[in-house]
Structure 1
Amino acid sequence: MTTPKISLREVTKTFPGRGGDAPFTALDGVTLDVAPGEFLALVGPSGCGKSSLLDLVAGLSTVSGGEVLLDGRPVTGPGLDRGVVFQQYALFPWRTALANVEFTLEAAGLGRRERTRVAREALALVGLTGFEQRYPHELSGGMKQRVAIARSLAYEPEVLLMDEPYAALDAQTRESLQDELLRIWRRTGTTIVFITHGIDEAVYLGQRVAVMTSRPGRIKDVVRIDLERPEDPDSDLRSEPGFTRYRRQIWELLHSEVRRAGELEEAGAR
C-alpha cells in the first residue's frame, strides 16, 4: 500500500482567546490523505479553517491535537520539500522577476551561476521567458502570480500548497493560469493542495475535491472528479454535462455550510 504524501490524522487547531474570550477552535478532528502526485482542491465557507490547515501542512503553524505527516513523518516546521503560493504575490519590489525566483535558491545554497540557470528554467516553465529582468511593477497581476509560482517550483518541492492564488485575478487571466498550472502539474508530478472559493475552479483543477464544514472546520466529504480532460486547448470542459453534475454535487454539499457560517457570523456580531 502506497504511503500518502500528506496525511492529517484527527487534526485540531485552537487559537487562544483575546480580551477574556474563550479559545477559538479553527479545525476539529480533520482526517485526510493526499496521494503522491495528486491534485487535491479544497473548498469550504469563509472562516472554516482552510488557510489554517494549509499553514499546518506547510509547517508555518503547529497542531493543537492530532498529527500532520509528510511521507509518514511528522511535520515539525517549514522545509524546502514544500512550496507555498499565497493570494498575495509577496514579491520583492526591488528585485527583478529573475532575482525574485533566485531568492529561494540562495537559501538552498546554490551558487550564483546555478541559481540563474535554475531560475530561468522555472520562469520558462510558467511562460515568462523574456521577462526575467522586469520588476514587479512592470508586470500584470497574472504575471506576478506566475513569478510567485516559479519561485515556489524552482527548488523542485515535492508538495505545492496554494492558498487562493487566483482570487484577485480577472476571469480570463484566472482560467489561463488554471490551464498553465495543470500543464505544470502534469509535467512535474508535484503533489498539489489548492484552496479555492470557486466551485468551478475546484472541479476544473482537482482530481478530488475536499469539502469542509463551517467553523470549526472538518472534512464533510471528498468528491472524486472523474472527467475526461481533452488535450485540445479549444475544448470547453466547463460546458460538459459531467462538469455541471460535479459542480451541482459540490454546491449542494457547501450550501448548508455557507448558510450556517453566515448564521454564526450574525450571532457573533450581536
Structure 2
Amino acid sequence: MKIEFMHVSKEFAVRGASFTALSDISLTVGEGEFLTLVGPSGCGKSTLLDLLTGLTAPTRGEIRVDGAPVEGPGLDRGIVFQQYALFPWRTAVANVEFGLEAKAVPRQERRDLARHYLDLVGLRGFDDRHPHELSDGMRQRVAIARSLAYDPAVLLMDEPFAALDAQTRESLQEELLQIWAKTGKTVVFLTHGIDEAVYLGQRVAVMTPSPGRIREIIAIDFDSREGDPRADPRFGEYRHAIWTLLREEAIPVA
C-alpha cells in the first residue's frame, strides 16, 4: 500500500502552552517500499508512527494509506515496538494467533498460520514456549511473527532491535530483509542507528531535531543485496552523508 503524509503537523498542549512535535511533514512511501527514518531523540519519529497507526490525529494536514484517509487503527497496518509487548501467559504460537483471533479466523487455520509465521522468523520448534522461556531476540521474533500473521499490507517498526545485542540485531536485520523480499509489504522502520538505516532502507528519510521535519531523503542503491552491503564502498559514503546532515542540524546557527 502507498502511504502519503500531506503537510502534516502535530502539536501537543504542555503546561498550558503548545508544543510542536512535527512540522509540515510531506512524505510518500511507495507500495512495497522499505523506508527507514533516522533522527535524534525527541525529533518526533514515534509521534509520526502514532499518526500513521491512527492512534492519534494530526493537528494539521492529512495522512492517506492506499488513497484513504487514516481515521483510526486498522488491520491493514501492523506494528512492532521496541518492547516486545507479548502476553506472558500465552505461548509463542498463542501470541502469534492473537491478531488472527481479532479477524475471526477458524481455530485450526489460525494455529497453522501462526506456526507458518513462527517458521518464517526462524522459531520452528518453539511454539509452546512462554515469553520467559525465550531470549530477547526470540521474543522480538515472536512479536514480528504476530504482526505478520494477520497479513497487514503495511508493517510499522518502532526501533524494534534497539534493545538487542549487536550480533542478534544484525541477525534480525538480515531476517527482516528476507521476510520483506518474500512478502512484498510496505515497511516503515524507525531507528537511531545510521548503519541500520542504510543497511535496511531503500531510502532513508533524515529528520531534524524538534520540531521534527524531513531534512532530506537519501536513496540507497547498492549493486546487489547479496553478501553484506556493509562491504560496499558506498555504504560508508551513505553513512557519512547522513551523519553530516544530522550533525549540521545539531549545531546551532550563530
TM-score, normalising length: structure 1 = 0.91
Alpha-carbon distance in structure 2 between the residues aligned to 1:257 and 1:146 = 34
- Equivalent residue number for residue 2 of structure 2: 5
- Equivalent residue number for residue 253 of structure 1: 245
Matched, 1:243 2:235: yes
Alpha-carbon distance in structure 1 between the residues aligned to 2:156 and 2:247 = 25
Deviations 1:162-181 (A, max 9, x none): 00000000000000000000
2:28 aligns with one of 29, 33, 37: 33
Aligned 1:31-70 pairs, distance under 5 A: 31-70=26-65
Shift of 1:106: 0.5
Between Structure 1 and Structure 2, how many residues are aligned? 252
1:246 alignment partner AA: Y
Alpha-carbon distance in structure 2 between the residues aligned to 1:106 and 1:118 = 11
Matched, 1:85 2:99: no
Alpha-carbon distance in structure 1 between the residues aligned to 2:251 and 2:94 = 45
- Equivalent residue number for residue 129 of structure 1: 124
- Equivalent residue number for residue 152 of structure 2: 157
Aligned 1:146-185 pairs, distance under 5 A: 146-185=141-180
Aligned 1:95-244 pairs, distance under 5 A: 95-231=90-226, 235-244=227-236
SS at match of 2:230: helix
C-alpha contact (below 8 Å) 2:23/2:213 kept by paired residues: yes
Alpha-carbon distance in structure 2 between the residues aligned to 1:227 and 1:100 = 37
Deviations 1:174-197 (A, max 9, x none): 000000000000000000000000
1:17 aligns with one of 14, 17, 20: 14
Consecutive unaligned residues in structure 1, runs of 5 or more: 261-270
SS at match of 1:252: helix
Consecutive unaligned residues in structure 2, runs of 5 or more: none
1:65 alignment partner AA: R
Alpha-carbon distance in structure 2 between the residues aligned to 1:103 and 1:230 = 33
Shift of 1:238: 1.1
Shift of 1:23: 1.1
Deviations 1:104-157 (A, max 9, x none): 111111111111011111111111110000000010111000000000000111
SS at match of 1:167: coil
C-alpha contact (below 8 Å) 2:117/2:148 kept by paired residues: yes
Shift of 1:36: 0.2
C-alpha contact (below 8 Å) 2:222/2:232 kept by paired residues: no
SS at match of 1:214: coil
1:164 alignment partner AA: E
Alpha-carbon distance in structure 1 between the residues aligned to 2:138 and 2:70 = 32
1:8 alignment partner AA: F
C-alpha contact (below 8 Å) 1:37/1:191 kept by paired residues: yes
SS at match of 1:16: strand
Shift of 1:259: 4.3
Alpha-carbon distance in structure 2 between the residues aligned to 1:255 and 1:68 = 29
1:123 alignment partner AA: L
- Equivalent residue number for residue 263 of structure 1: none
C-alpha contact (below 8 Å) 1:45/1:257 kept by paired residues: no
